Amino acid sequence: MNTILVRPFTVLFLCFLCLQCFTPLWLSADDHGHDEGEAQQAEVNNKNTIVGKWKTIDDTSGKAKALIDVYEQDGKIYGRIVRLFPDAGDEKDPVCRKCTDERKDQKIIGMLILKDLEQRNNDWFHGNILDPENGKVYRCKIRLEQDQLKVRGYVLIFSRTQTWYRAEESLPGKD
Protein backbone atom coordinates (compact mmCIF):
# COMPACT_ATOMS: atom_id res chain seq x y z
CA MET A 1 0.00 0.00 0.00
CA ASN A 2 2.83 2.40 0.84
CA THR A 3 4.47 1.87 -2.54
CA ILE A 4 1.29 3.05 -4.28
CA LEU A 5 1.51 6.35 -2.39
CA VAL A 6 5.27 6.70 -2.86
CA ARG A 7 5.26 6.24 -6.61
CA PRO A 8 3.10 9.28 -7.46
CA PHE A 9 5.34 11.46 -5.29
CA THR A 10 8.45 9.96 -6.92
CA VAL A 11 7.01 10.66 -10.36
CA LEU A 12 6.16 14.25 -9.39
CA PHE A 13 9.64 14.78 -7.98
CA LEU A 14 11.28 13.44 -11.16
CA CYS A 15 9.03 15.69 -13.27
CA PHE A 16 10.08 18.65 -11.15
CA LEU A 17 13.78 17.78 -11.68
CA CYS A 18 13.28 17.47 -15.43
CA LEU A 19 11.54 20.83 -15.61
CA GLN A 20 14.40 22.41 -13.71
CA CYS A 21 17.00 20.91 -16.04
CA PHE A 22 15.26 21.62 -19.31
CA THR A 23 14.06 25.10 -18.48
CA PRO A 24 16.32 27.58 -20.30
CA LEU A 25 19.45 28.20 -18.30
CA TRP A 26 18.93 31.92 -18.39
CA LEU A 27 15.80 33.79 -19.25
CA SER A 28 16.15 36.55 -21.80
CA ALA A 29 15.59 40.18 -20.83
CA ASP A 30 12.23 40.04 -22.61
CA ASP A 31 11.14 37.18 -20.35
CA HIS A 32 11.66 39.44 -17.34
CA GLY A 33 9.36 42.13 -18.68
CA HIS A 34 12.11 44.54 -19.76
CA ASP A 35 11.58 46.40 -22.97
CA GLU A 36 13.76 45.81 -26.02
CA GLY A 37 15.67 49.05 -25.53
CA GLU A 38 16.98 47.88 -22.17
CA ALA A 39 17.99 44.52 -23.61
CA GLN A 40 19.83 46.14 -26.51
CA GLN A 41 21.64 48.52 -24.16
CA ALA A 42 22.69 45.58 -21.98
CA GLU A 43 24.05 43.81 -25.05
CA VAL A 44 26.14 46.85 -25.97
CA ASN A 45 27.48 47.03 -22.42
CA ASN A 46 28.47 43.34 -22.58
CA LYS A 47 30.41 43.83 -25.83
CA ASN A 48 27.69 41.69 -27.44
CA THR A 49 29.95 39.09 -28.94
CA ILE A 50 31.31 35.76 -27.90
CA VAL A 51 33.51 35.71 -30.98
CA GLY A 52 37.18 35.98 -30.04
CA LYS A 53 39.77 34.27 -27.90
CA TRP A 54 38.82 32.87 -24.50
CA LYS A 55 40.99 31.47 -21.73
CA THR A 56 39.81 28.40 -19.84
CA ILE A 57 40.79 27.82 -16.23
CA ASP A 58 41.36 24.44 -14.57
CA ASP A 59 38.65 23.87 -11.96
CA THR A 60 40.99 22.34 -9.39
CA SER A 61 44.28 24.23 -9.79
CA GLY A 62 42.91 27.61 -10.88
CA LYS A 63 45.60 27.82 -13.58
CA ALA A 64 45.07 28.74 -17.21
CA LYS A 65 44.44 25.58 -19.19
CA ALA A 66 43.74 26.48 -22.83
CA LEU A 67 43.08 29.30 -25.26
CA ILE A 68 39.94 28.80 -27.35
CA ASP A 69 39.21 30.67 -30.57
CA VAL A 70 35.43 31.09 -30.75
CA TYR A 71 34.15 32.02 -34.20
CA GLU A 72 30.96 32.25 -36.22
CA GLN A 73 30.38 30.26 -39.39
CA ASP A 74 27.10 30.03 -41.31
CA GLY A 75 25.21 31.63 -38.41
CA LYS A 76 26.47 29.12 -35.82
CA ILE A 77 29.20 29.32 -33.20
CA TYR A 78 32.24 27.04 -33.13
CA GLY A 79 35.34 26.94 -30.95
CA ARG A 80 38.80 25.55 -31.56
CA ILE A 81 41.71 25.05 -29.14
CA VAL A 82 44.58 27.23 -30.35
CA ARG A 83 46.95 26.90 -27.41
CA LEU A 84 47.46 24.80 -24.30
CA PHE A 85 49.15 25.90 -21.10
CA PRO A 86 50.68 22.59 -19.94
CA ASP A 87 52.12 22.03 -16.50
CA ALA A 88 55.68 20.80 -16.13
CA GLY A 89 55.80 17.16 -17.15
CA ASP A 90 52.64 17.33 -19.31
CA GLU A 91 52.76 16.47 -22.99
CA LYS A 92 53.50 19.56 -25.07
CA ASP A 93 51.39 18.45 -28.07
CA PRO A 94 48.90 15.87 -26.73
CA VAL A 95 46.31 13.90 -28.69
CA CYS A 96 42.77 12.98 -27.66
CA ARG A 97 43.17 9.31 -26.83
CA LYS A 98 39.80 9.09 -25.07
CA CYS A 99 37.73 10.67 -27.86
CA THR A 100 35.28 8.25 -29.44
CA ASP A 101 34.38 10.14 -32.63
CA GLU A 102 36.43 11.40 -35.59
CA ARG A 103 38.67 13.32 -33.14
CA LYS A 104 40.14 10.14 -31.63
CA ASP A 105 43.95 10.27 -31.65
CA GLN A 106 43.90 13.77 -33.20
CA LYS A 107 46.03 16.60 -31.82
CA ILE A 108 44.23 18.64 -29.18
CA ILE A 109 45.79 21.88 -30.41
CA GLY A 110 43.65 22.84 -33.37
CA MET A 111 40.79 20.57 -32.28
CA LEU A 112 37.21 21.75 -32.68
CA ILE A 113 35.58 21.45 -29.25
CA LEU A 114 32.50 23.70 -29.62
CA LYS A 115 30.06 22.89 -32.43
CA ASP A 116 26.77 24.12 -33.85
CA LEU A 117 25.67 26.62 -31.19
CA GLU A 118 22.70 28.74 -32.29
CA GLN A 119 21.88 32.15 -30.85
CA ARG A 120 18.60 32.90 -29.14
CA ASN A 121 18.49 36.36 -27.58
CA ASN A 122 21.68 36.62 -25.46
CA ASP A 123 22.27 32.88 -25.22
CA TRP A 124 23.65 30.15 -27.47
CA PHE A 125 21.97 26.72 -27.41
CA HIS A 126 21.60 23.40 -29.22
CA GLY A 127 25.30 22.78 -29.74
CA ASN A 128 27.80 20.51 -28.08
CA ILE A 129 31.16 20.68 -26.39
CA LEU A 130 33.94 18.12 -26.14
CA ASP A 131 36.05 17.63 -23.03
CA PRO A 132 39.34 16.37 -24.51
CA GLU A 133 40.50 15.09 -21.12
CA ASN A 134 37.79 12.44 -20.89
CA GLY A 135 36.70 12.31 -24.55
CA LYS A 136 33.06 12.94 -23.68
CA VAL A 137 30.73 15.16 -25.69
CA TYR A 138 28.09 17.16 -23.83
CA ARG A 139 25.14 19.31 -24.88
CA CYS A 140 26.13 22.93 -24.41
CA LYS A 141 24.63 26.29 -23.50
CA ILE A 142 26.61 29.53 -23.36
CA ARG A 143 25.83 32.99 -22.03
CA LEU A 144 27.99 36.08 -22.28
CA GLU A 145 28.25 38.06 -19.05
CA GLN A 146 30.47 41.10 -19.52
CA ASP A 147 33.92 39.71 -20.38
CA GLN A 148 33.10 36.19 -19.21
CA LEU A 149 31.49 33.23 -20.91
CA LYS A 150 29.39 30.94 -18.76
CA VAL A 151 29.78 27.60 -20.53
CA ARG A 152 27.46 24.84 -19.36
CA GLY A 153 27.90 21.25 -20.45
CA TYR A 154 25.12 18.85 -19.58
CA VAL A 155 23.85 15.31 -19.99
CA LEU A 156 20.26 14.61 -18.91
CA ILE A 157 19.92 16.20 -15.45
CA PHE A 158 23.65 16.49 -14.74
CA SER A 159 25.49 19.67 -15.64
CA ARG A 160 28.57 21.71 -14.89
CA THR A 161 29.20 25.37 -15.62
CA GLN A 162 32.67 26.70 -16.29
CA THR A 163 33.66 30.34 -16.64
CA TRP A 164 35.89 31.31 -19.55
CA TYR A 165 37.66 34.67 -19.55
CA ARG A 166 38.16 36.94 -22.54
CA ALA A 167 41.81 36.75 -23.53
CA GLU A 168 43.71 39.95 -23.99
CA GLU A 169 44.18 40.81 -27.65
CA SER A 170 47.93 41.14 -27.19
CA LEU A 171 48.97 37.90 -25.60
CA PRO A 172 52.63 38.00 -26.67
CA GLY A 173 53.70 34.68 -28.09
CA LYS A 174 50.51 33.02 -26.93
CA ASP A 175 48.57 32.83 -30.20
Residue 160 above 60 pLDDT? yes
Q: Please check whether residue 175 lies inside any domain of the structure.
A: no
In a domain, 21, yes or no: no
Whether the model clears a pTM of 0.85, i.e. scores above it, the answer is: no
Contacts of 68 (CB under 8 A, 6+ apart): 53, 54, 55, 56, 79, 80, 81, 82, 113, 114, 164
Is residue 114 included in any domain, yes or no? yes
* Sign of the torsion angle spanned by Cα atoms 53, 77, 58, 133: negative
Residue pLDDT, tens place only, 101-157: 999 999 999 999 999 999 988 888 889 999 999 999 999 999 998 889 999 999 988
Q: Please give the full DSSP string across 105-143, using - where no structure is assigned.
A: T-BSTT-EEEEEEEEETTEEEEEEEEETTTTEEEEEEEE
Q: How many domains does the chain have?
A: 1
CATH number at residue 73: 2.40.128.520
State the residue range of the domain holding 82.
49-166
pLDDT for 39-90, tens place per residue? 444 444 436 789 999 999 988 888 999 999 999 999 999 999 999 999 888 8
